[in-house]
Amino acid sequence: MGFKHILLDPVDAGIMCLTINRPKVLNALNKATLEEINQAIDQLEVDNNTRLLLITGAGEKAFVAGADIEEMSQLSALEAKAFSAFGLSVLRRLENASFPVIGLVNGFALGGGCELAMSCDLILASDNAKFGQPEINLGITPGFGGSQRLTRLVGRPMALELLYTGRIFGVEEALGFGLINYVYPQAQLMEKGLEMSREIVSKSRSSIQLIKQLVQRGQDLPLDNACIMESDQFGLSFSSPDQAEGMAAFLEKRAPHFN
């Protein structure tokens, strides 16, 4: 499938990389770009070879500097609501994808860019990365889930401070907030992302899918209900050939060879 605003390329066995490719506007998200991300998810979900997706931005300045303000400035209230709903649905698809998603934040991740990063399972950032939800400065609210994901990731008081002030913060604060996993020099970001990706794809595919479902679906449930769901998934994991191989390998003191 040909794309105009994104790149979708294999980078290693089972590992795909989606690059937001609008560097002249710092990879801002317009409706066409969101549509292409949605189409890419469609493609990856039916490709049985896809084990993991990396997401990054073209160039050295930005992951995604935000939603496309020039396009948004022309929207009516109803059009803005539809744009928000579509963006929310695309990012939710990433969260619910059947494969892990790692964000490689290589510069500005503001507004819609921060929201895109937060929809990834893990975030690795370059040392020049900047984060923020500065929608307050435009007289609007976050529209792609920023108020909700930020609160869940960093806690209510800090989320409200960041949303009220719209301030931009760097990787040291992001690490302290628990927003990101690791920071690397920009030149090493892709290499480190691939290193982590290779480790993940070497594990049991079925177990990773079940773990992702447990975390995504269980985080907002009462603890007792979430634990019941975990028990169900634990039992289900025993129907996989990976369980037999993993336990046999442990008992035979060898590395497992998962399908």
Residues designated as active site:
115, 135
Q: Are 82 and 127 in contact (CB under 8 A)?
A: no
Go through the chain and tell me how many residues it has.
259
Alpha helix positions (H), 61-142: 69-72, 77-95, 112-118
Q: Are 205 and 147 in contact (CB under 8 A)?
A: no
Q: Which amino acid is at 20?
A: I
Tokens 């269980």 label which residue? 218
Beta strands in the chain (DSSP E): 6-12, 15-20, 52-57, 62-64, 101-105, 108-110, 122-126, 130-132, 169-170, 182-184
All residues at 6 or more sequence positions from 207 whose CB lies less than 8 Å from its CB, including other chains: 237, 240, 242
Q: How many CB atoms lie within 10 A of CB 67?
A: 28
